[in-house]
Amino acid sequence: MKSLVIHAARDLRLEEHDPQQPGPGEVQIALATGGICGSDLHYYNHGGFGTVRLREPMILGHEVAGHVTALGEGVDTLKVGQLVAVSPSRPCHTCAYCHEGKHNHCLNMRFYGSAMPFPHIQGAFRQVLVAEAAQCAPADGLSAGEAAMAEPLAVCLHAVRQAGPLMGKRVLVTGCGPIGMLSILAARRAGAAEIVATDLTDFTLQMAARNGADVVINGRDDPEALSSYQAGKGTFDVLFECTGVAAALSSGIAALRPGGIIVQLGLGGDMTLPVQAMTAKELELRGSFRFHAEFFTGVELMQKGLIDVKPLITQTLPLTDAVAAFDLASDRTQAMKAQISFA
């Protein structure tokens, strides 16, 4: 089988590996579709992000879906041929945080395609994947592309949970990449009354306007566009910060009303916070990291037609064109979610 392996920045290779057979409680999956995530792009373009660096070759990918081809012993919840979305979240279920129900903070997390630990956790961009049956969400009624969107959607559903009740709230989303877009969809589903979105490209903002944002603002064309929302100590109840860029966070904080909540999703590295402004307005900063149970909720929401991710899938390229797919996914003037077809 072929796997997509990153060796260093801009050194992405298609390599041959032997497929595995499923053990007890596992299934073998013929991968159909994989979505290129922001973290995949950091490995591809920069060899890592922040202090997380590639120290050995690593199979990329964690947004995947495919069809079950074999069942391991004891698996009776899935069927051969069934389309499944595969959660990359594999907590140990035995550490202190798992016992507290904080599976996303597992001390022994095995998250596909992560260079955080060493040896690295190999990813899911391979033609044949063996996964635990418990990771697999039946995705009947969805396309493989939609099913592969369950992972980024779960990230945003977890962020909405971190924000607390959104019914009737005014929401600001900074950054309209895939996570920003899915945050808009999730916030609207949770009852947000008004959503304003900011970004630096017309393409992403047009996508945001078509997919639930009430107002879109190009911060590159008009750096002061948020100023009207900053009057009277601010306007918004909740900020979903999806860029990891200090300037976006600062402008968003200035537009939050007293008692507002900042949900930080963007992982661009350490940032300097305007602590004085946060203190004076009694703002709350809440981190949002990964997900767990929200993965299966996201699949169900898509199956019921309550969240539609199809418009966000802008390109699907074959595995043989993986490098071109990664280059395209890096271009926010024409790509929202670029996916790779493994079929």
| Helices 178-189 and 150-163: angle between axes, nearest 10 degrees | 60
Which residue's entry shows tokens 């044949």?
Answer: 128
Residue stretches of the chain with pLDDT short of 50? none
- Neighbouring residues of 190: CB distance < 8 A, sequence distance ≥ 6: 160, 165, 166, 167
Which residue's entry shows tokens 């703002």?
Answer: 283
Closest listed residue to residue 157, CA positions, set 266, 285, 297: 297
pLDDT at 320: 96
pLDDT at 32: 98
Closest listed residue to residue 238, CA positions, set 296, 290, 173, 190: 173
- Neighbouring residues of 328: CB distance < 8 A, sequence distance ≥ 6: 315, 317, 334, 335, 338
Phi-psi label, residue 302: left if phi above 0, alpha if psi -120 to 50, beta otherwise: alpha
pLDDT at 306: 98
Residues 179, 288: Cα–Cα separation, whole Å: 12
Residues in the chain: 343
pLDDT at 223: 87
Q: Evaluate if pTM is beyond 0.75.
A: yes
Cβ–Cβ < 8 Å for 234, 277: no
Strands annotated E in 134-255:
136-138, 170-174, 194-199, 215-218, 236-241
Residues 14, 236: Cα–Cα separation, whole Å: 46
Give per-residue pLDDT as tens, 174-186.
Answer: 999 999 999 999 9
Which residue's entry shows tokens 């005014």?
Answer: 170
Residues 263, 239: Cα–Cα separation, whole Å: 6
pLDDT at 192: 98
Give per-residue pLDDT as tens, 24-54.
Answer: 999 999 999 999 999 999 999 999 988 899 9
> What are the structural domains, with CATH classification, of the chain?
2-149+309-341 (3.90.180.10), 158-287 (3.40.50.720)
- Cα–Cα distances (Å) from 250 to 39, 112, 239, in that order, read 23, 32, 11
pLDDT at 178: 97
Residues 32, 34: Cα–Cα separation, whole Å: 7
pLDDT at 222: 87
pLDDT at 179: 97
Helix (H) or strand (E) holding 39: helix 38-46
pLDDT at 100: 97
